[in-house]
Structure 1
Amino acid sequence: MIEQLRDIPLFSALSNDSWHELSHYMVLVQYPKGTTIIYADKVEPYFYILQSGIARAYIDGENQQITFWFGESGAVLFSFNSYINNSPGYENIELLTNSALTRIKLTDLFLLYQQNLEIANWGRKIAEQELIATERRLIDRAFKGAAARYHEFAAQSPELIKRVALKHIASYLGVTQVTLSRIRGAYK
């Protein structure tokens, strides 16, 4: 099962030697729909790769959960603050479907970063790509209207449109469910 991960684009940049070194620290885990694997206000000890399933990251707002990220197969799931600062994170990550993941202890990953420059650069690249994606979402939210954000989301993530609850999509887009229903009605 670990060898199947080699086909995920996330790992394609690694040489076979680095891949095998990293794979020794990987543990396969499966969790049911609704499981929260990363909790806000806690230093999270793991870095996950989503092999199959769908996840969302959210924060608890006043009387509501605000979704700010979705992940599908191949996505990495981790608390940025725990990863970078070894401090409690601000996000919760919940699995929206039954999911299979690969888990790596952050202490093991950081040890590999010290021992293997290729793996360290791989980890840096992952963090950079996540930062760029976060920046893009922030800019889109500031400058694009809700309808434009929905159309782009639907085009880029058609599977999520089919499988994720509308309340989570509405929260992600920063609109009410009523507004999302109107946008969807006009989109069809």
Structure 2
Amino acid sequence: MNVMEHLLSHIKNYYTLSDEAQQALFDCFTKVTAFKNELLITEGSICRELYFLEQGALRGFYNVDGKEITHWFGFENDFVTSFHSFITGKPAVENIQLIENSTLWSISKNALTALFNQYHEVERLVRIVYERYYIRLEERYVNAQFKTAKELYENLLKQSPHILERVPLGYVASYLGISQETLSRIRGRL
């Protein structure tokens, strides 16, 4: 399967576009190769690109009092960006770092806006992408508020075991809101 077919087959999971809109959308994407530990987006900069992660892994994190707090991970077939910055045009408050060598496809905010005006179905597609992002964010927030560290880890094991296979444990501990030592104890008991 070539890149266009891969991207478009994934997009169909969100919303089916006409052939003309698919081609116009694909023509606006640019291939980006990024390497492990590179920062794709840095806090304080304005994010002007939406990315489709074809291959690789990355994380979103905040710097709080000199500590990095990981709040999400992205893997193959995810759309990723600093959504707040991308949508509002304000500086990002998060960083996005590659945790594996990665291949991404980027589309600029300007190109996407032009597509919205020409193909309303593209606007609908992106709205659905935003909705799914919001739902994941809300689920994560609710889980963090009402579950114990052990329950959070067990949920991660059940729902997203690939994270544990591909992400350093320090990032996983930060994501769960616990120390690496607590994570080691929980893992040791299971």
TM-score, with length taken from structure 2? 0.94
Are 2:40 and 1:44 equivalent residues in the alignment?
A: no
Q: How many residues align?
A: 186
Partner of residue 58 from structure 2, selected from 55, 65, 77: 55
Report the residue type matching 2:23 in the other structure: H
Tell me whether 1:65 sits opposite 2:82 in the alignment.
Answer: no
Long gaps (5+) in structure 1: none
Q: Find the counterpart in structure 1 of residue 169 from structure 2.
A: 166
Residue from 127, 145, 150 that aligns with 2:148:
145
Superposed displacement of residue 170, structure 1: 0.3
1:20 and 2:40 are equivalent in the alignment: no
Match of 2:83 in 1: 80
Percent identical across equivalent pairs? 32
- Aligned twin of 1:108: 111
What is the alpha-carbon distance in structure 1 between the residues aligned to residue 6 and residue 167 of structure 2?
A: 26
How far does residue 2 in structure 1 lie from its aligned partner after superposition?
Answer: 2.8
* Offset of residue 101 of structure 1: 0.4
- Counterpart for residue 5 of structure 1: 7
Structure 1 segments (4+ residues) deviating >4 Å = none
CA distance in 2, matches of 1:184, 1:56: 22
Shift of 1:33: 0.7
1:82 & 1:119 partners in 2: Cα distance?
A: 20
What does the per-residue CA deviation read over 1:119-157, in whole Å, with 9 as the maximum and x for residues that have no partner? 001111111111111011000000011111111111222
Unmatched 5+ stretches in structure 2: none
Alignment RMSD (CA, Å): 1.2
- Report the AA paired with residue 99 of structure 1: S
* 8 A contact 1:32–1:97 mirrored in 2: yes
Deviations 1:91-113 (A, max 9, x none): 11111001010111111011111
